[in-house]
Structure 1
Amino acid sequence: MRIYGPNGTTLGTPAASARRSSTSAFALPDTIAPAETRAATAPKAAGNIDALLALQGIEDPVERRKRSVARGRGALDVLDDLKIGLLSGNFDASTVGRLRNAAASLKSTSGDPGLDAVLSEIELRVEVELAKAGQF
């Protein structure tokens, strides 16, 4: 990566050319070129931080859909665990806590209307099971 500007790296300035004489003896130039001076300036900002944060916050629709599918599958797994626990007679209170977490995770949308409809049906079923679990 190259950095340009007053604070970046620059190539050296060419030295003043020495006068060449026909003799092979060493000679210094008659005039000394003044060194280039620059005024001290404050460092420049790397960019607008808000813009960088906004770019990081942009979600890929495919990734959002994948996360929504994973949350739906997780909720279905908890419902299956609840069903197995009720059928075997081993109702576990931790399953109700997992159901509450699954219900909370299903609140966000995926951006896909069909997937959102399925997730809302799963959420409704989780809420029904939570209401029934409150009766025990």
Structure 2
Amino acid sequence: MRIYGPNGTTHGAPAASARRAGSSAFALPDAVAAPETRSAAAPKAAGNIDALLAMQGIEDPGERRKRSVQRGRGALDVLDALKIGLLSGNFDASTVNRLRDAAANLKSSSGDPGLDAVLSEIELRVEVELAKAGQF
């Protein structure tokens, strides 16, 4: 099998360096390559920064639902702490502050209509308890 081409082996053709071996003087190549000139243009942007920020803002619906469930459970825990405090006669102002924070966290939507309905009922109960405490 014979291979012909730039990487293959060829027989009968002397190498270019063998032809010049008879010359005693050293010479540079005749063609002097001109240095390439490039325009001083600004590099192209990879993309609009607004588009990149928008992509980072997109969240997974499952993650949003998970955070909404956590906020709802947190609000229920604070309501339980308030109930225990009222029943024991230990009404604490810090519980009211935690209730206020829980009410603010329940305002966002989860994307699930059923979960949003439950969260709105929890939010209503939190607001009622804040109104009873005179802090709303």
Same fold by TM (over 0.5)?
yes
**Higher CA-based Rg:** 2
Quote the offset at 1:41 in angstroms. Answer: 1.3
1:108-119 alignment to 2 at 5 Å?
A: 108-119=108-119
- How many residue pairs match? The answer is 117
- Superposed CA deviations along residues 70-115 of structure 1, whole A, max 9, x for unmatched, are 1001000100100110111100011111111111111111000110
Alignment partner, residue 96 of structure 1: 96
Alignment partner, residue 23 of structure 1: 21
Whole-angstrom distance in 1 between the partners of 2:86 and 2:75: 17
Alignment partner, residue 43 of structure 1: 43
Whole-angstrom distance in 1 between the partners of 2:69 and 2:31: 77
TM-score by length of 1: 0.79
Query: Gaps spanning 5+ residues in structure 1: where?
Result: 1-18
Percent identity between the aligned chains?
A: 82
User: Given the alignment of the two structures, is residue 69 of structure 1 paired with residue 69 of structure 2, yes or no?
Assistant: yes
Whole-angstrom distance in 2 between the partners of 1:22 and 1:106: 87
Whole-angstrom distance in 2 between the partners of 1:94 and 1:110: 27
Alignment partner, residue 13 of structure 1: none
Quote the offset at 1:44 in angstroms. Answer: 2.0
The range that moved more, 105-114 or 42-51, is: 42-51
Alignment partner, residue 130 of structure 1: 130
Query: Gaps spanning 5+ residues in structure 2: where?
Result: 1-15
